[in-house]
Amino acid sequence: MFESLSDKLGGVLNGLSKKGRLMEKDIDEALRAVRLALLEADVDFKVVRQFVKNVKERAIGDDIFGSLTPGQSVVRIVQSELTSILGGQTEELARSERPPTIIMMVGLNGAGKTTSAAKLALQIRKETKQDVMLAACDLQRPAAIEQLNQLGKQINIPVHSEDPAGNSPLKVAQNAIKVAQAANSYWLIIDTAGRVAIDDELMGELEELRDKINPAETLLVLDALTGQDAVQSGGEFHSRIGVSGMILTKMDGDSRGGAALSMRSATGVPIKYIGTGEKVDAFETYHPDRLAGRILGMGDVASLIEKAEGELDLDAAKELERKLRKSEFDMNDLLDQFKAIKKMGSITDIMGMVPGLGRMKNKLNPADMDESKVARIEAIILSMTAEERRNPKLINGSRRKRIADGSGTSATEVNQLMNQFTQVQKMMKKFARGGSKRGLMGMLSK
């Protein structure tokens, strides 16, 4: 996400940082380029105008022209103002005094509301370690109830649903609240009906539901790919329903990012979560400061650490360390490491979180980041016998052919993996013996 905007802003700010001294005309030229980059990213023109005005005023007020590092001072101001228009600070979910805390999901059809309800349930359970329940109150779309039930089974979260014939969303929601109370569920997420467009019937139904069940949160789900249409929809929903927060879906497909940058300023409603992919765990708490860092190519170390802590097994890491010290690293361990990295997300997403690598990823050969290569390596390892994985030296010509046939690859690719694994083993042995960084770098350059 934000690739296009990040590249353009990064280029402008890098140019300023390289100058030893700045004049006011340098700032004006840079801000013209920033203004154009933001408008091309589909950011609301009023938001752009205010952003540029704030940066200019702060640059002059802080007297950056007399600073020893004027370029870095401008970058700091831009990051601060970008964080501000993105929302300023992370907004946590409100909680009811007594459980369950009810969250009502609203939005138009096609925005990903039902999927987001399941993603949110999984996220809340991860963060709070508390019981969560889902309620299928979308009785308009025939497949919505079945979709939510299937998602609930996938993430092992209970779903309350009823036959839509002769039923109403309000009745289903009220019954779901009783079930959640009896089950001592701390959270109840209610999926509601959407429409292809905003209409009085939809709003009336949602207003009645809101008034009768009194949710602690009313979250509006919007498709980031629709750009300023999402901003307009957000304003209309908020004026009628009074939403307390928003979830932006399909952020992974939005290279411009105008909706996210405009949403808070244009509607006054905070973004609380973003959807970053199709998988049920591709969902993040919205952190304006971290997102500003990603856009400006400064990385997002905090989110990277959270991903690692959430996906990597501490006991497995300790066992791997023991194997490394005893030079027992084998193909099973290599396979485990690939699986662990895949759980953290795509290679390009991970690179975007590492300071300095965000801008580099577009300069690298796409073939070097082709994630299908990882899948082919996994297929090769899985085609080996348990004995071959433990002791790859057993793999001769005939075994190599069998492995290639079984994995749908070639003998050449199997050879390449074997050679790379040998290099990894050598590197691990150097680490185990306390090998120097120079020795490691020398090996990697071969």
Backbone φ and ψ of 10, nearest 5°: -60, -40
Looking at per-residue confidence, does 285 or 21 come out higher? 285
- Find the range with the poorest average confidence among 76-90, 299-313, 390-404: 299-313
What value does the mean pLDDT of the chain take? 79
pTM above 0.85, yes or no: no
For the ranges 2-6, 68-72, 403-407, the one whose mean pLDDT is highest: 403-407
Max CA distance (Å), the chain: 74
Residue 81 · residue 51 · CB < 8 Å:
yes
Can you give the pLDDT at residue 273? 93
Percent of the chain's residues with pLDDT above 70: 75
Cβ distance 17 to 232 under 8 Å? Answer: no
Instruction: Work out the average pLDDT over 395-404.
Output: 91
DSSP characters for 291-348?
HHHHHTT---HHHHHHHHHHHS-HHHHHHHHHHHHTT---HHHHHHHHHHHHHT--HH
pLDDT tens string 63-93: 665 555 666 777 788 888 888 888 888 889 9
Q: Around Cβ 131, how many Cβ atoms within 10 Å?
A: 18
The 8-class DSSP code of residue 134 comes to E
Query: Which pair of structure tokens corresponds to residue 178?
Result: 């009783």
**Please, which pLDDT band fits residue 170 given cuts at 50, 70 and 90?**
very high
Report yes or no: 324 and 428 within 8 Å, Cβ to Cβ. Answer: yes
174-181 LR contacts (CB < 8 Å, sep 24+) = 174/212, 174/213, 176/133, 176/135, 176/137, 177/100, 177/102, 177/213, 179/133, 180/99, 180/100, 180/133, 180/135, 181/99, 181/100
Q: Cβ atoms within 10 A of the Cβ of 12, count? A: 21
Residue 346: the pLDDT is 59
Distance CA 5, CA 256 (A): 6
The larger pLDDT score, comparing residue 233 to residue 184, is at 184
99 to 118, 180, 181, 184, 393: CA distances (angstroms): 19, 8, 7, 7, 59
Rounded Cα distance, 264 and 234, in Å: 10
pLDDT for 266 equals 79
User: For the chain, which domains are there?
Assistant: 3-86 (1.20.120.140), 101-298 (3.40.50.300), 312-444 (1.10.260.30)
pLDDT surpassing 60 at residue 303: no
Higher pLDDT, 313 or 44: 44
| Token pair in block for residue 141 | 């779309």
